[in-house]
Structure 1
Amino acid sequence: MSSDIPDDDMEVPAANVERVRIEDEMEQSYIDYAMSVIAGRALPDVRDGLKPVHRRVLYAMHEMGVTSGSGHRKCSSIVGETMGDYHPHGDKAIYDTLVRMAQDFSLRYPLVDGQGNFGSMDGDPPAAMRYTEARMDSISEELLENLDKDTVDFQSNYDDRLTEPEVLPAKLPNLLLNGSSGIAVGMSTNVPPHNLNEVVDATVHLIDNPSCEVEDLMEHIKGPDFPTGGNIVGKDSIYSAYSTGRGRLRMRAEYEVQQNDSGADRIVITELPYQENKARRVERIADDVNEGIIEGVSDLRDESDREGVRIVIDLKRGANVDVVENQLLDHHLEATFGVINLALVDGQPQVLTLKETLEHYIDHRKEVVRRRSQHDLNEAEERAHILEGRLEAVDTAEAIVNLVTESANREQAQQVLEGETDPTTLDVELEYPEVQSSFDFSKEQAEHILRMQIGSLTSMEAGEIEAEYEELQQEIEYLESILASEKKLLGVIKDELQEIVDEYGDDRQTSILEDEGQVTHEDLIPEEDCLVVITEEDYIKRMPADTFDPQGRGGKGIIGSDPKDGDRVSKVFRANTHDYLCCFTNQGQVYQLKTYEIPEMSRTARGKSAVNIIDLGDQEEITAVVNTDEFEDDECITMVTRDGYVKRTCVTEFDNILSTGIIAASLEDDDELVDVEVTDDTGDLVIATEQGMTIRFDESEVREMGRNARGVRGIDLEGNDRVAGMVATDDDDARSFLTVTRNGYGKRTLLSEYRRQSRYGKGLVDIKTNDRNGLVATVKAVETDDDIVVMSESGQIMRCPVSEISTQGRNTMGVTVMTTDKDDQVSTVTVAPGEE
């Protein structure tokens, strides 16, 4: 301090100055504040499952006599008593607590019986506290039972005028039954509610089997049980929450698909996920319908009443109910409940497993029952001691009456009864010489005897005293056995829990569903057949297959694609929007593709560059497509190249296809992969060439090879001939072998006409490839009731019934299948189911 300050103005120096670092002081002060919030406001106690404000509201109602058997009292009165005597915080926080304890959609087992408007699932606020009334619900009285028997410790209230319980005796495991939520400093709790029957069963099981595991307890507790019902999807998340104290539960609304009077579908929602605001949820569904996010909805209305939730969603006639259902699940009918089983254990916050939570509750109840039994034992022994004195007084009634009447005052009489004064000093003639020397009553007995009425000395009264004394002796013996045996003490706990179940037990309201996976984008795509078109310059698109009606053979078809100048259609294939496809390219690579990832466009659109979907390399084209749904582990992918090489590789080699693709076959020189079939080593392969030759041989002649193998020769090509395609068949195959040429001609020939030969032969003539027909474009195996979809390089597409293509023998010319322009030719053919 500066020496320039006059002595008169100097302050008196502190007696003790402690130098501290400001960061240390801030840290400690913050920790003290945090702990006061954690322990005194935000977190429940593991023993009774209550936060201080809940405990104080219930205790205030208990002290006011506002029990389940009394009349309702104004909530403002209850809030005022709580705030004035126990909880020195704002009335709004206390009233909000009181309201929540009365809401049957917030608590699984409400602790307060409310009368008036206590809010709703629509988020409506409760009426002001001056309008509402409340009293304790009967189940909440189980939390306070035996509070007057020294079962728990009491502490001073905030102004030291009164005392309040540190914790309630809690005859029921309230933390699990009603759950709890709260945000403290640096931590939060979110305990879900549960079913009383299940929790009691698990508690009893744990008492009987202390070494059991969480899995054993889950045989009794299936999962949380929310007051609003609904469903929990998946058991794994429940196990995670119970075994670690943390987890994320997927909640789903309860709904069903019905039909209205006009025959159109409707979705009726009858239960919502826990803590969902119903009115807001209906509003958001309506917004999505208006914005076109959810399609096919004609009407939406809330028909809920006091009996329960009922939200009706009417669909337009012809709308796909599965798609609407999945869209609702994706955006509106599912919610997540993040479990954080955090509670105070001996005043310290701990994240608890299910077993630990029940263990702490059992320990609490053991302490409560032990203290209660000791309290009852003390009272019983005190009463028995008094009765012993009364019985002795009855036996010596005349002597005691004479003694009392001759005593100078009450104090003298009590001294004689307690043996402190010799009765012979009194001027009284005693009838019973054996008691003339002295009496031997205790102080309590003497006081009680002096307060007795003359009428209580009758023989009838003596009989009643003896009966009461015998009952007390039995009670004392029972209480002593409880205190002497933990097994018997635990038996008392189990019996009391069973009484709770008998009184308040009910059925589970929330169902547990098997987890079939979360709703994905795929679930929102209608399942339909489509045609996928790919061009040489790797433009790709899909169109609904029913876009193209069947035509008679020989037509030109209609525009199915509009490739840019210089580009040509190279491939068209049929698939379902939900198919997972293996796409094989001319360079021997294979890629995996989901059909719905291909953009859907009109038939006149060019398509989208495939590099946005598949990472194709330069000069790489898709030449064959196989649906992975057809794969069985014992099957093979059989491939054929332009130069006539054929190989088989087990389908398991294609289980993990990278986004950049994997090698399907190693190619040499200018060879290309041209066609792929899924085979099972029991049939034959038929390979066709561009110049109209075919060869059929046993598939077993081609051994299984790895993905990097080139394969073996399947056909001996002459000159500049090249392979056009391949078909897998067997002896019982009644299908036809369809051959279509570049100039649009084709024919069907029964597969039985192609006799089996040895691999790597020259084969037999299938079709004449003269100037009229041109080279073979592709070959397919078809049935009579199939349709074929033929596409030209310029993008013309025609759908034709197979039955219109005549069946001919080998080495014939065929008939016109599709009429092509002079500068156009057939590019590809795919098979589609025929229309009924």
Structure 2
Amino acid sequence: MRETRLADALSERYLAYAMSTIMSRSLPDVRDGLKPVHRRLLYAMRQLKLNPEQGFKKCARVVGDVIGKYHPHGDQSVYDALVRLAQDFAVRYPLVDGQGNFGNIDGDNAAAMRYTEARMTAVGAALMEGLDEDAIDFRPTYDGEDHEPIVMPAAFPNLLANGAAGIAVGMATNIPPHNADELCDGLIKLIDNPDTSIAELVRCVPGPDFPTGGVLVEPRENILESYATGRGSFRLRAKWEVEKMTHGLYQIVITEIPYQVQKAKLVERIADLMFAKKLPLLADVRDESTDLIRLVFEPRSRAVEPEHLMEMLFKNTELETRFGLNMNVLDGDNTPRVMNLREVLRAFLAHRQVVLVRRTQHRLEKINHRLEVLAGYLIAYLNLDEVIRIIRFEDEPRKEMMRVFELSEVQADAILNMRLRSLRKLEEMEIKNEHSKLSEEKAGLEALLASDEMRWTRIREEIEQTREKFGKKTELGKRRTEIGDAPQEIDVPLEALIEREPIMVICSRMGWIRALKGHTTEIADLKFKDGDESRFAIKAFTTDKLLIMSSAGRCYTMGCDKLPGGRGHGEPIRLSIDLPQEHEIVSMTIHRPNGRLLVASSAGRGFQVAESDVVAQTKNGKQILNLGKGETALIFEQVDKNHVAVLGENRKLLIFPVEEVPEMTRGRGVILQKYKQGGLADVTLFNIEDGLTWTMGGSEGRKRTVTELDEWIGKRAGSGRLPPNGFPRSNRFE
């Protein structure tokens, strides 16, 4: 027993666990793009002769061999890895050809391994091309009874083509799949010019190519930055189109969804948002998918813009996702590190160089051995009678032949093992021809090993063959993810998000507000609290904004769709806006986006202000009119006429064009009318050609209009004159 500190023991064991996780479970090898479980699966399938041209075998047989010989882990985890390699919606270039239920894009699980069958695909076979030609090293299996490959020869750029994901201890990896044809272009570019820039490589590899398609909408400069650093993210959207229907109706059809999004959960999420009324533009969603994706969205009405509906869906659902890029891989020395695009492609090419040299040397050894044997055969043919005599009469014919003809052990054994039928004359000619051909091949291989340029030419040819086999001209190799432009930010108008319905806004003198449905004019029968009465009755729509002006010169904004219903007396308006008790509501009007307001204080000062500048974003409102001591805000009138009539408390009337009042965003304003004593009583706007109208006294509500107004027309800031005879004693226009 050895005593040790607990901290030291824990750190030692945790470090061993961390290294095991990093090396043997989570991070792929940059050379073949595989993790140990995937490598062992493919190798076991090869040992079972499950080649693409062969028949299928039960997945249970494959999993049994893998966990029994190479990978001592749970059978379910190994089967899950096998299933994923066969799913064409999860892997861009499947390495396993599955037969049976291997799950679907809705998230349903595969059938049990006893029901499903599998074999390798051409891509899987390409990863092991040259495995029997000493292309890579083998190591003993966990129990020492067999051997397994440390890395695959990898004639296919699997790491980037199929991507990888994994979480280790203190590090993780996440690599999206890419198009093999484009990767081959990048590899050839690097062979031709090893100093090719990242920008040039990104022209060859413009972005990921996901198995489920979609549209890549990440800006090009962001893509370039991600590939240059090995870290970043890609913005991916579903592919959609508009289907026209009768009577001006339409529906939106989703044909491709983002990578790793489960369709059934996506539809469920959209349905939940509709139930919560967070997708007001959407009326219905249907899943009409077969083998092809087809999600149908029905807009709330034909007035809804398709772009507005999709923008809402992109912001609230997984129809738009971000796929992270973290190219953290094990390099050729089994060291985990983050690589950029050029480093990953160079590492693949360096591996192919090593594989080519080892396969060439292996072939050269085989040729040398065969040439040695053939040379022995030729000696035997030239001395056939003596060879027969030695074999018949000598006690140790092998040693005797080696002594007499100066043969090697290999040559002597080959002669002794030669069949009698090989002694015919034709066989001698064939041996000479074979010797000549092998000698020629040997010279070529030796030249290949001696020339770096020839080796890169051969690697270039191999990559061209890979592109021919798996490139864009094939059904498997066609690009699926569309490279789109970065989308412009679409502002969905408030009107599009809210059902447009007519309402009547009612506000009492004590500040109780409610909204009645419809543009009703029958408001005389409305009930109010004791001592209260109606003050404002405004026709509006639920999509409108209500502007509320206080005596302190502040403007508050409320959405008409958020007003309390018409039942009862409504609610105090102070619950919705921070209106102090000492301030009163002076005016209430519906916001016009391009309109202007005339604001004025009791001191007779005022200005025009754009309505867009008075809209408040918070309950606290927005200060518009600055007031002096003892002043209050009196007037907030929408400017839709050409003249202003100002009436002072001294009962003087002044009329001037509205253009004389300047436009400001905030302040005290300019003098509208001068007073020796008192202040402003009332203001109204009117068209000079229609005359000035005011309400007469009495219960009948008669009105009077005066068109001859020359003696009251003057310049702004004048004193004015007494109003015409018959003007109300209330000293107000209404």
Q: Flag whether TM exceeds 0.5 (same fold).
A: yes
The residue number in structure 2 matching 1:696 is 656
Stretch of structure 1 that moved more, 235-244 or 159-168:
235-244
What's the offset of the Cα at 1:183? 4.2
Distance 1:210 1:776, change over 3 A: farther
Asked if 2 retains the 8 angstrom alpha-carbon contact of 1:741 and 1:774, the reply is: no
Q: Deviations over 1:611-636 (max 9, x none)?
A: 534566741546477958539xxxx9
Report whether the alignment pairs 1:759 with 2:716: yes
Equivalent residue of 2:478, what SS? coil
User: Aligned letter for 1:303?
Assistant: E
Report whether the alignment pairs 1:154 with 2:141: no
Asked if 2 retains the 8 angstrom alpha-carbon contact of 1:580 and 1:629, the reply is: no
The residue number in structure 2 matching 1:588 is 553
Distance 1:401 1:695, change over 3 A: farther
Equivalent residue of 2:324, what SS? strand
Asked if 2 retains the 8 angstrom alpha-carbon contact of 1:563 and 1:606, the reply is: no
The residue number in structure 1 matching 2:594 is 630
Asked if 2 retains the 8 angstrom alpha-carbon contact of 1:214 and 1:242, the reply is: yes
Distance 1:119 1:65, change over 3 A: same
Distance 1:213 1:767 in 2: 86
Structure 2 counterparts to residues 79-478 of structure 1, below 5 A: 79-185=63-169, 188-204=172-188, 218-231=202-215, 235=219, 252-256=237-241, 258=243, 268-282=253-267, 302-305=287-290, 307-312=291-296, 334=319, 336-337=321-322, 339=324, 341=326, 343-346=328-331, 352=338, 356-357=340-341, 359-377=343-361, 379-380=363-364, 383=367, 409-415=397-403, 418=406, 455=425, 462=432, 465-466=435-436, 469-478=439-448
User: Aligned letter for 1:595?
Assistant: G
Report whether the alignment pairs 1:526 with 2:499: yes
Distance 1:331 1:319 in 2: 21
What's the offset of the Cα at 1:518? 9.4
Stretch of structure 1 that moved more, 577-586 or 603-612:
577-586
Match of residue 480, structure 2, among 501, 508, 514: 508
User: Aligned letter for 1:48?
Assistant: D
The residue number in structure 2 matching 1:776 is 733
Distance 2:54 2:118 in 1: 10
Stretch of structure 1 that moved more, 238-247 or 335-344:
238-247
Q: Deviations over 1:701-735 (max 9, x none)?
A: 84x7784x433213335865626457699xxxx99
What's the offset of the Cα at 1:150? 3.3
Asked if 1 retains the 8 angstrom alpha-carbon contact of 2:505 and 2:514, the reply is: yes
Distance 1:156 1:735 in 2: 104
What's the offset of the Cα at 1:540? 4.9
Asked if 2 retains the 8 angstrom alpha-carbon contact of 1:535 and 1:570, the reply is: yes
Q: Tell me, which stretches of 5 or more residues in structure 2 are unaligned?
A: none
User: Aligned letter for 1:67?
Assistant: N
Stretch of structure 1 that moved more, 251-260 or 513-522:
513-522
What's the offset of the Cα at 1:776? 2.0
Stretch of structure 1 that moved more, 684-693 or 134-143:
684-693
User: Aligned letter for 1:126?
Assistant: A
Task: Report percent identity of matched pairs.
Answer: 32
Distance 1:340 1:86, change over 3 A: same
Distance 2:647 2:733 in 1: 7
Asked if 1 retains the 8 angstrom alpha-carbon contact of 2:198 and 2:341, the reply is: no
What's the offset of the Cα at 1:363? 1.0
The residue number in structure 2 matching 1:822 is none
What's the offset of the Cα at 1:272? 3.8
Stretch of structure 1 that moved more, 153-162 or 308-317:
308-317
The residue number in structure 2 matching 1:646 is 606
Distance 1:122 1:494 in 2: 36
The residue number in structure 2 matching 1:817 is none
Distance 1:584 1:163, change over 3 A: farther
Q: How many residues align?
A: 712
The residue number in structure 2 matching 1:712 is 670
Q: Deviations over 1:189-230 (max 9, x none)?
A: 444333334444455556667667766655555544433334
The residue number in structure 2 matching 1:69 is 53
User: Aligned letter for 2:260?
Assistant: Q
Match of residue 467, structure 2, among 498, 509, 514: 498
Equivalent residue of 1:134, what SS? strand
Asked if 1 retains the 8 angstrom alpha-carbon contact of 2:547 and 2:558, the reply is: no
The residue number in structure 2 matching 1:813 is none
RMSD: 5.2
Match of residue 480, structure 1, among 445, 450, 454: 450
Asked if 2 retains the 8 angstrom alpha-carbon contact of 1:417 and 1:446, the reply is: no
Distance 1:315 1:525, change over 3 A: closer
Q: Deviations over 1:780-816 (max 9, x none)?
A: xxxxxxxxxxxxxxxxxxxxxxxxxxxxxxxxxxxxx
Asked if 2 retains the 8 angstrom alpha-carbon contact of 1:579 and 1:627, the reply is: yes
Equivalent residue of 1:101, what SS? helix
What's the offset of the Cα at 1:594? 6.3
Asked if 2 retains the 8 angstrom alpha-carbon contact of 1:169 and 1:368, the reply is: yes
Distance 1:520 1:351 in 2: 44
Equivalent residue of 2:583, what SS? coil
The residue number in structure 2 matching 1:784 is none
Asked if 1 retains the 8 angstrom alpha-carbon contact of 2:545 and 2:560, the reply is: no
What's the offset of the Cα at 1:114? 1.0
Asked if 1 retains the 8 angstrom alpha-carbon contact of 2:374 and 2:431, the reply is: no
Equivalent residue of 2:656, what SS? strand
Distance 1:750 1:169 in 2: 99
Asked if 1 retains the 8 angstrom alpha-carbon contact of 2:238 and 2:254, the reply is: yes
Q: Tell me, which stretches of 5 or more residues in structure 1 are unaligned?
A: 1-13, 419-440, 550-555, 778-836
User: Aligned letter for 1:548?
Assistant: H
User: Aligned letter for 1:365?
Assistant: L
What's the offset of the Cα at 1:738? 8.3
Equivalent residue of 2:86, what SS? coil
The residue number in structure 1 matching 2:4 is 20
Distance 1:141 1:742, change over 3 A: farther
Distance 2:36 2:717 in 1: 88
Distance 2:538 2:195 in 1: 62
Report whether the alignment pairs 1:601 with 2:565: yes
Asked if 2 retains the 8 angstrom alpha-carbon contact of 1:581 and 1:628, the reply is: no
Equivalent residue of 1:776, what SS? coil
Asked if 2 retains the 8 angstrom alpha-carbon contact of 1:769 and 1:776, the reply is: no
Distance 1:289 1:154, change over 3 A: same
Distance 1:656 1:147 in 2: 72
Equivalent residue of 1:181, what SS? strand
Asked if 2 retains the 8 angstrom alpha-carbon contact of 1:330 and 1:519, the reply is: no
Stretch of structure 1 that moved more, 194-203 or 385-394:
385-394
Distance 1:314 1:693, change over 3 A: same
Distance 2:537 2:605 in 1: 24
Equivalent residue of 1:373, what SS? helix
Distance 1:152 1:757 in 2: 101
Distance 1:187 1:597 in 2: 49
User: Aligned letter for 2:566?
Assistant: S
